[in-house]
Amino acid sequence: MGMAWQKGDGYFEKNGLALGYASYMAFDIKSKFGIFAMANSRSSDNGGAFCKAAREALGDLRGTATDALTFNQSGQKINCPTTSAGGEA
């Protein structure tokens, strides 16, 4: 698991914005769905609409809504997902 991933309700996501480009990647281990999206971005919302659309697409694949994430401010440790030798979560 890379650094600075955000953990949602059953899924992990990472997004970024640099010099006119936006990216978004998320995956859900249980449903075995993931999404990766890239776009040119000159938006004044810093890629917010793009990330929202990609997050909604992941929700459609999962069959479960994916709400916008907030950073962990509780101070609780967040455990990274693990898989067994057979690849099952």
Residue ranges making up the domain that contains 42: 6-62
Question: Is the pLDDT confidence value at 79 over 70?
Answer: no
Please tell me the predicted confidence (pLDDT) of residue 21. Answer: 83
Domain count, the chain: 1
CA distance 8 to 70: 8
Report, as an integer, the average pLDDT of 59-75: 71
d(CA 25, CA 57): 11
Over residues 5-28, the mean pLDDT reads 83
- The pTM assigned to this predicted structure is 0.65
Cα separation, 47 vs 55, in Å, equals 12
Percentage with pLDDT > 90 across the chain:
1
Q: Mean pLDDT in the chain? A: 74
* Residue 69 forms part of a structural domain: no
Residue 44 placed within a domain: yes
Q: Does the residue 77 lie in any domain?
A: no
Task: Provide the pLDDT for residue 72.
Answer: 52
Q: Beginning with the edge strand found earlier in the chain, give each strand of the sheet holding 12-18 in spatial order.
A: 6-7, 12-18, 21-28, 33-40
Specify the DSSP class assigned to residue 56.
H
Q: Is residue 67 part of a domain?
A: no
Is 30 inside a domain boundary?
Answer: yes
